[in-house]
Amino acid sequence: MKIYNKGLVFSLILVFAAIALFPFLVQGGRVAAKPDPKTDTPEIMQYAQEHGGKKECVESKEWMRGEHMQLLNQWRDSVVRDDNRGYISNTNHQRWNMSLQNGCMKCHSNKKKFCDECHNYLSVKPYCWDCHIQPAEKEEVKS
């Protein structure tokens, strides 16, 4: 059999390739659903209730998104080297307990639906949980 228009066939192949690759080109090779970290834990809802409906992190959401890794390193150094566990927020000027387990994870007790939601999407695997205890992922009240 003879292909009567090589140019046309070649163009069609290009078009199909472009369509097939489109999601990869746009998302840099990732096709998983976009992360949607949830901040609706009992601890956060209670905090909001006590603060006029305002949900707050230790710093602004935007800053935390980009800087939480560095902040955690800072916290660890402060506790381990200087034995200082008090962190004064630059955003809300409150004093926070510099602790992964008793600070961050007390509010973000939904590690799977929060931390892992982003980290899995980006294939980041913090090794912290080799030593630090993860929150028990139970929404139901235990007796």
Regarding 63 and contact with ligand HEC (CB under 6 A), the answer is: no
Count of other CB atoms within 10 angstroms of residue 105: 21
**Which residue type occupies 6?**
K
Print the binding letters for residues 74-113 with ligand HEC: x by CB under 6 A, - otherwise.
-xx--xx---------------x-xxxxxxx--xx-----
> Are the CB atoms for 56 and 47 separated by under 8 Å?
yes
Q: What is the CA radius of gyration of the chain?
A: 23
- At its nearest, how many Å lie between ligand HEC and the CB of residue 4? 52
Query: Of 2-10, 20-28, 51-59, 133-141, which part binds ligand HEC (CB under 6 A)?
Result: 51-59
Number of shown-chain residues binding ligand HEC (CB under 6 A)? 42
Distance between CA atoms of residues 10 and 13, nearest Å: 5
